Amino acid sequence: MPELPILDVKGVGKTYELNGLKIEALRDANLTVKKGEFVCLIGASGCGKSTLLRIVAGFEVPSSGEALMWDKPVTGPAPDRGMVFQDYGLFPWLTVRQNIGFGPASRGLPKKVVKETADRFVNMVGLNRFADAWPHQLSGGMKQRVAIARVLANDADMVLMDEPFGALDAMTRERLQDELLDIWQRTQLTVLFVTHSIEEAIFLADRVVVMEPGPGRIASEYRIELPRPRDVASPEFNEVRRELSNRLHSHHSRKAA
Amino acid sequence: MSATTVAGSAAADAPPKPRGVWRARLKAFGMALIVPIALLIFWDLAVRFGWTRLIPSPAEVAEYMVDFAWGGIWDDAFSATLHIHLLASMSRVYGGFALATLVAVPLGILIGRNDTVRALLDPFLQLMRPVPVTAWLPLSMILFGLGARSAFFLVFLGAFYPILLNTVFGVRGVEKRLFEAASMLGCSASAQFYKVVLPAATPSIFTGLRLGLGLAWFVIVVGEMTGVPQGLGAVIMDGRTLSRTELVICGMIVIGIAGYISDRIVVMIMNRLLRWSPSHHA
């Protein structure tokens, strides 16, 4: 009997109604993610990658099909699936430490445990000096570190990331990618990561799921076999990049035809 | 990581150079004095050259102010009564303001959060809003009689709307993202009210409180037209009846200063409580 996947998306579709117009954002998406896997969803805007992620998070209810987390249907947001937003979504009135401790505190853990947990994860993302700073005093990269830490501090089984590094400058983005991989390898985390950067997907993922628009759907999957740490300048990396890029573009040309 | 932000926030934590700060404050203080002093000079000249015969000179007003506060110069019915009138007005301003806060903040939260309450109350409140406080004066005297209760009601009414509207605005304007963040971190829908809605709405509520307190001082003169014996508004009305312009001007000055000080206190509390908000730095 095969290992039970942490996430099993079965025939999920999503149709919105906008001014009486039906818009199919996602059609018949099927995807399984195993514990500890790093999966990237990639595709042009309108391919439904964020919709799929938000359905897994429990923020959106699918119009058809269902998402199963450990074989149980997702009915709403819960701490087992932590989300990292592109715009951080930090609580501006809480300090870095309080933001990171928000989940444990919400779960009603004793104050002492909350503080210890928060401090541990403040440490993990290297923000000790800024533990008592407010979000508006932080740079974008630091804010995203807080957002990642608060999900980890909450013992999430799976981290859902919606273009988390999309708003950061190139150097900060590379550094956070390295840090994320480091944390992922140390903690056996499962990550579902939405991006529109081919390079980012190849650098991070065990498996890249290519999506295409009109209506949004999963087009193909691609396993990245490159050994880690990956070198984005290596010929092997470039080869994978070319192939994936061809796949993405062939979808586009097919659509245009 | 971004060096500018690190340096920037480190600079904000460290105490700035005292001399530079004092020089800047002194300069700001000097700049603020220019217009009032120019006006005083103009006022003095206008009286000296006889452009007006009904307005006393600044020096006369100053002298009367001393008598109003401590007595010993004119020793009339108003000498050394400043504290009595000030306290009477303050009790109405702060009492009316406190009552307005107690009613408007919870009501604003209800209107902002509950569609039924909004459908029930919002149209009515919006319809009543354009009616100026002054227009309520006669009705308020019928309802609450001549005297302090009427004044109290008018102050309450003046402070009520800005607090209510800003509370509704703050409660309704909470970013959707924050609810998503709270729920995926395991914060229940009922706990989100205290953990998300209230803190997110505080800047807006404070803006309402500040405007409300300002308006409370604003309407105190009207409020004290209702035949109360004491209060700065009453002093101004008496001054008018007795043609004692210096008394009117003294009352105006005291209201201005008292209103200013109470506004600074609110701003101080606000800046202290809202240190997290980038738009609320002292």
DSSP-derived secondary structure for A207-235: EEEEEETTTTEEEEEEE--PPSSP-TTSH
Q: Which two tokens stand for residue B205?
A: 């509520």
Measured CA to CA in angstroms, residue B252 lies from A36, A137, B235, B256 at distances of 73, 43, 10, 6
Residues B160 and B254 in one domain: yes
Q: Is residue B91 part of a domain?
A: yes
Residues B183 and B46 in one domain: no
Q: Is residue B62 part of a domain?
A: no
Residues B89 and B158 in one domain: yes
Whether residue A128 lies within 8 A of chain B, CB to CB, comes out as no
B126-133: long-range contacts (C-beta < 8 A, 24 or more apart)?
Answer: B129/B161, B133/B157, B133/B158, B133/B219, B133/B222
Residues B40 and B95 in one domain: no
Which residues in chain A have their CB less than 8 angstroms from residue B202's CB?
93
Q: What is the pLDDT of residue A18?
A: 87
**Could you tell me the pLDDT band of residue B3, with boundaries at 50, 70 and 90?**
very low
- A106:B195 CB<8 A: yes
Q: Is residue B242 part of a domain?
A: yes
How much is the average pLDDT of A190-199?
Answer: 95
Q: Is the pTM of this model over 0.90?
A: no
Give the 3-state secondary structure of residue B241. helix
Task: Name every residue whose Cβ is closer than 8 Å to that of residue B105 and which is 6 or more positions away in sequence.
Answer: B163, B167, B205
Q: How far is A79 from chain B (nearest CA, A)?
A: 5
Q: Give the separation between CA A109 and CA A102, rounded to whole angstroms.
A: 10
Which residues in chain B have their CB less than 8 angstroms from residue A101's CB?
none
Phi-psi group of B264: left, alpha or beta (phi > 0 → left; psi -120 to 50 → alpha; rest → beta):
alpha
What CATH number should be reported for the domain holding residue B228? 1.10.3720.10
Residues B148 and B37 in one domain: no
- Number of domains chain B is built from: 2
Give the 3-state secondary structure of residue B260. helix
Of the candidates A169, A84, A166, the residue with the CA atom closest to the CA atom of residue B2: A169
Residues B106 and B245 in one domain: yes
- Among B7, B37, B53, identify where a domain stops: B53
Amino acid occupying residue B45:
L
Of the candidates A102, A105, A58, the residue with the CA atom closest to the CA atom of residue A83: A58
First-residue to last-residue Cα distance in chain A:
43
Tens digits of residue pLDDT in B203-255: 999 999 999 999 999 898 888 877 788 999 999 999 999 999 999 999 999 99
Listed by number, the residues of chain B in 157-216 with a beta carbon closer than 8 Å to a beta carbon of chain A are 177-178, 180-188, 191, 195-196, 199-200, 202
Q: Is residue B203 part of a domain?
A: yes
Q: What is the pLDDT of residue B16?
A: 54
Residues B123 and B192 in one domain: yes
Q: Is residue B105 part of a domain?
A: yes
Residues B43 and B86 in one domain: no
Q: Is residue B39 part of a domain?
A: yes
Q: Is residue B195 part of a domain?
A: yes
Which residues in chain A have their CB less than 8 angstroms from residue B200's CB?
93
Q: Which two tokens stand for residue B14?
A: 């460290």
Residues B147 and B39 in one domain: no
Residues B202 and B266 in one domain: yes
Q: Is residue B251 part of a domain?
A: yes
**pLDDT value at A4 more than 60:** yes
- Among B53, B72, B101, identify where a domain stops: B53
Mean pLDDT in chain B? 89
How many Cα atoms occupy the beta-carbon half-sphere of A153 within 13 Å? 33
> Residue B183: which domain range?
82-273
- A193 pairs with which residues across the strands? A40, A161
Residues B269 and B132 in one domain: yes
**Could you tell me the pLDDT band of residue A251, with boundaries at 50, 70 and 90?**
low
Three-class secondary structure assignment of B166-180: HHHHHHHCCCHHHHH
- A79:B186 CB<8 A: yes
Tens digits of residue pLDDT in B158-169: 999 999 999 999
Residues B36 and B96 in one domain: no
